[in-house]
Chain A
C-alpha cells in the first residue's frame, strides 16, 4: 500500500496528466487512451443507433413513409459497419486499455505511442466513412457484408472512401492487438502466470490473435475490390474470369472469426462480474480458458455456414453444418460454468450483475437460434430473413453490448473514484432489457414467416410484428440516454468509492486506490493465488 501512496504523491507533482486538449492528443497513458476509446465508441453507438431508429421508423408501418429505398440501404449498411467497427470493437479495446495493465500488475501498456496512434486513426476513419453519406451518389449501400459485385460493379462512387476507411480501421485494430499481446506476454507482474490471469485478460489474448489473423484478410479483400474497381482486374468479375462467390468465401473467412472477436471479450467480462456478485470463485476456470481457445480455433473452419444458399456440394454443406454445431459444445461449457458459479452463491443484484445475468440468458437464446440457422436444409428457409437479423442482434446487443455496459458500471467506480446511482442503473437496465426483447423477439416470428432483411417496405402480414419491434427500438434507443446521464452524474457527483468497491471483488485492479492512480503499478505488486483472478 505504501508504494501506492508514493504513486499518488508523484501523480500530483511530477508525472500527472498534461493540461488541456493536448493531454488527449499526445497521451500515451493507457487510462487516457482507454477513456478516449470508450467515449468514441459511445458516440458511435449513438450515431449507429440513430441510423437504426431511421430504419425502424421506416418499418413502423408498411409502405414508404420517411426515406427513399436508396437512403434506406445506406442506413442499414452504415448501421452495421458503425456498430461492428465503431461501437463494439473500440469499446472492448478501450476496456482492454483501462484494465489489462491494472489486472496484470503492469505500469502501462507495452507500446504506448503505438497505442496513441491506433486510437487517433479511428476518428479520421469514421469521419471519412460518414462523409460518404453526403457525397453525390450517396454512401455505401451494399450491406455491411459488401458482397461483390454490389460493392464493385454496382457500387456508388464513394466506395473508394469506404475501402480506405476499412484499411484504416484494420490498421488500428492490428496495432491495438499487437499492443495487447505484447502487454500480456511481456508485462505480467512476477507470479502472474498465464493460468492465473483473469479471464478478461485470457479472452482478450485469444481475441487479439484472432484479430491479427483475420484483419489482414479483410484488408486483402477490400484491396482486391479496389483493384477490380480502378485497375480493371477481375478478382470478382465473372466477365474477366473471376468469381463473385470467391468474395463471399474471403469475406466470411474474416467475418466469422470477427463475430467471435466481438463476443470473446464479452465472455471475459461476465466471467469477472458473476463471481463477484455470486460471492463464489468462478466455476471451472481452466475449462473456461480451454473453451475460449476451442471457440477461437473452430471459428476458422465454419465460415461457409453464412453461404449455404450459394450452391455448395453436399459434402461442403455437411462439413460446415457439423463444424458449426460443434461450437455449441465449448459455448455450452461456458454457459454452464456461469450458471454453476451462481448456483448456491449468495447473490446480490447490482446493475453490473443484472446486465451479466441478462447476458447469460439472452446470449443463450441467440445461441439457440444460431443452432437453428446452422442446420443447412433449414437455412434455405431462414437465409436472409429477419430470423437472421433477430439471431445476430440477440448475440450482439444483449450479448456484446450488455457486457460492455456491465463492465462500465462494474469498473466505473475504480476509474473515476465515485459510485454511480444504483437506482438509475437499475432503471437503465430494465428499460434496456425490455426494449431489447420487444425489439428483437418479434423479428424471429416475422423472419420465420418469410420477411426478408434489408427491405424498406414489406407485405401487410408483417405489419404488427414490425410495429412492436419499432416501439421496442425507440424504448431501447432512448434508454441509452439514461446510461449517459448516470455515468456523467457518477463522474461529477457520485459518492466516493472504496478501494475494493465491491466487497467480494478479486483481482489486482481492486488493490489500487479509487480512482486508480495515473500510473498503475510502478513497482510490481505481490501476486497471490486469491488476488490474481476471481
Chain B
C-alpha cells in the first residue's frame, strides 16, 4: 500500500513540475505567436534590405502616421518633425524623431514600437531604428534619432494607412550596465 502511494505521488509531482515549467514556456511561446500573427503590433528586429531585388510599387501610396508617447512618469520630450509620411510599397524611407532630457540628471530612455493595424505589422520593416537600442542623455541634452523603414510589397490590399506608435520608457535603472560597458550587446531587439 505504501509503495503504491509513493508511485502515485511521484507521478503527480511530475505533473506539477511539468506545469510549472509550462508556465515559463508560455513566455517564448507567446513571443513566437506574436511574431507569426503580428499580435500586439510587434514589428521585429532589423531588416536586411537588398537594393538589387527591391522593386517599388508606384501604384500604391500608403500613409504612415507617426505617434510618439512617453510612458507615465517619463519626463522627456519626444516628437517627430512630421506627423507622418506617404510611401510607396518597396520604397526605402527616412524619418527623424527627437528626444530631449528635460531633467537635471542623466537618464536612459528606450522606445518600444508597435504597429496598427496588426495585419500590417509583419509587412512593416525597419532597416534602421533608434528603438533597437536605448539612448542615454545628459541633463538638458537633445538628440536626433533616425528611422529608416520599408513597407513590404506584400502589404494586404485593404491596408491604406499604417500607424507606427512609439512609447518611450525610462530605463535608467535597467540599462545602466549596458551603457557603462559599451561592449555588451543590447538587451532588446525591438
Residues of A within 8 A of B (CB): 110-111, 174, 177-178, 181-182, 185-186, 209, 212-221, 224, 232, 234-235, 238-241, 243, 245-246, 249-250, 253, 311-313
A313 touches B39 (CB 8 A): yes
Q: Does B26 contact A (CB under 8 A)?
A: yes
A111 touches B118 (CB 8 A): no
- Identify 5 residue pairs between A and B in the complex whose beta-carbon atoms are under 8 Å apart, listed by A's number: A182-B8, A182-B12, A216-B23, A239-B169, A245-B40
CB distance from A220 to the nearest CB of B (A): 3
Chain B residues 110 to 147 lying within 8 A of chain A, measured CB to CB, are 110, 112, 118
Inside 8 A of B71's CB, which chain A residues have their CB?
Answer: 238-239
Inside 8 A of B19's CB, which chain A residues have their CB?
Answer: 212-214, 216-217
CB distance from A247 to the nearest CB of B (A): 10
Inside 8 A of B39's CB, which chain A residues have their CB?
Answer: 312-313
A60 to B49, CA, bound (A): 63
Inside 8 A of A239's CB, which chain B residues have their CB?
Answer: 71, 110, 112, 169-171, 174
A186 touches B1 (CB 8 A): yes
A239 to B174, CA, bound (A): 9
A235 to B187, CA, bound (A): 13
Inside 8 A of B188's CB, which chain A residues have their CB?
Answer: 240-241
Given A216-B16, A240-B174, A243-B34, 12 more A-B residue pairs with CB atoms under 8 Å apart are A213-B15, A213-B19, A216-B18, A219-B23, A235-B27, A238-B71, A239-B110, A240-B110, A240-B171, A241-B189, A246-B26, A250-B23
CB distance from A237 to the nearest CB of B (A): 8
Closest 4 CB pairs of A and B: A220-B23, A239-B169, A216-B20, A216-B19
Q: Does B13 contact A (CB under 8 A)?
A: yes
Chain B residues 1 to 55 lying within 8 A of chain A, measured CB to CB, are 1, 4-5, 8-9, 12-13, 15-20, 22-24, 26-27, 30, 34, 37, 39-40
Inside 8 A of B158's CB, which chain A residues have their CB?
Answer: none
Overall SS of chain A's interface: helix
A245 to B170, CA, bound (A): 20
Q: Does B190 contact A (CB under 8 A)?
A: yes
Inside 8 A of A249's CB, which chain B residues have their CB?
Answer: 26, 30
Residue of A nearest to B168 (CB): A239
A219 to B21, CA, bound (A): 10
Q: A219-B20, A239-B112, A313-B118 are in contact. Are A178 and B12 (CB under 8 A)?
A: yes
A312 to B118, CA, bound (A): 9
Residue of A nearest to B188 (CB): A241
Q: A110-B5, A178-B13, A219-B23 are in contact. Are A241 and B174 (CB under 8 A)?
A: no
Q: Interface digits, B141-165 against A, CB 8 Å rule (1 contact, 0 not)? A: 0000000000000000000000000
Inside 8 A of A174's CB, which chain B residues have their CB?
Answer: 16
Partner of B187, one of A213, A215, A241: A241
A243 to B39, CA, bound (A): 11
Residue of A nearest to B109 (CB): A239
A212 to B19, CA, bound (A): 8
B112 touches A238 (CB 8 A): yes
Q: Does B173 contact A (CB under 8 A)?
A: yes
Residue of B nearest to A218 (CB): B23
A186 touches B8 (CB 8 A): yes
A215 to B187, CA, bound (A): 31
CB distance from B11 to the nearest CB of A (A): 9
Partner of B23, one of A111, A221, A241: A221
Inside 8 A of B174's CB, which chain A residues have their CB?
Answer: 232, 234, 239-240
Residue of A nearest to B24 (CB): A220
B30 touches A243 (CB 8 A): yes
A313 to B120, CA, bound (A): 12
Q: A239-B171, A243-B30 are in contact. Are A111 and B5 (CB under 8 A)?
A: yes
A193 to B31, CA, bound (A): 46
A220 touches B20 (CB 8 A): yes
Inside 8 A of A212's CB, which chain B residues have their CB?
Answer: 12, 15-16, 19
Residue of B nearest to A154 (CB): B72
Partner of A240, one of B8, B15, B26, B187: B187
CB distance from B163 to the nearest CB of A (A): 13
Q: A110-B5, A178-B9, A182-B9 are in contact. Are A238 and B169 (CB under 8 A)?
A: yes
Inside 8 A of B27's CB, which chain A residues have their CB?
Answer: 224, 235, 246
Residue of B nearest to A222 (CB): B23
Inside 8 A of A241's CB, which chain B residues have their CB?
Answer: 112, 187-190
Inside 8 A of A235's CB, which chain B residues have their CB?
Answer: 27
* Interface-centre pick from B16, B30, B112, B190 (highest chain A CB count, 10 A): B16
Q: Does B167 contact A (CB under 8 A)?
A: yes
CB distance from A256 to the nearest CB of B (A): 14
